[in-house]
Amino acid sequence: MVAKVIVFRLGHRKERDKRISTHVALVARAFGASGVIYSGEKDEVMEKSIMDVVERWGGPFFISYERNWKRWLKAFNGVKVHLTMYGMPFQQRMNRIREEASSRKLCVVVGSEKVPSELYRLADYNIAIGNQPHSEVGALVVFLYELFDRNLKEEFERAKLKILPQERGKKVVKLEEKTE
Q: Quick one: pLDDT at residue 55?
A: 95
As a whole number, the mean pLDDT across the chain is: 92
pLDDT tens digits along 100-131: 998 999 999 999 878 999 999 999 999 999 88
DSSP conformation class of 68: -
Q: How would you label 54-73 residue by residue, b for 16+ Cβ within 10 Å and e otherwise?
A: beebbbebbbebbeebeeeb
| Domain assignment present for 58 | yes
pTM: 0.92
Contact (CB, 8 A) for 23 and 139:
no
The CATH number of whichever domain residue 128 belongs to comes to 3.40.1280.10
| Domain assignment present for 170 | no
pLDDT tens digits along 45-85: 999 999 999 999 999 999 999 999 999 999 999 999 999 99
| Domain assignment present for 81 | yes
Share of the chain above pLDDT 70, in %: 98
The CA distances from residue 144 to 33, 101, 167, 179, in Å, are 8, 12, 26, 33
Round to whole Å and give the CA distance between 123 and 136.
17
| Domain assignment present for 174 | no
Number of domains in the chain: 1
Q: How would you label 79-113 residue by residue, b for 16+ Cβ within 10 Å and e otherwise?
A: bbbbbbeebeebeebbeebbebbeeebbbbbbbbe
Is pLDDT above 90 for 143?
A: yes
Round to whole Å and give the CA distance between 127 and 124.
10
Q: Quick one: pLDDT at residue 8?
A: 98
Range of the domain at 113: 4-153
| Domain assignment present for 180 | no
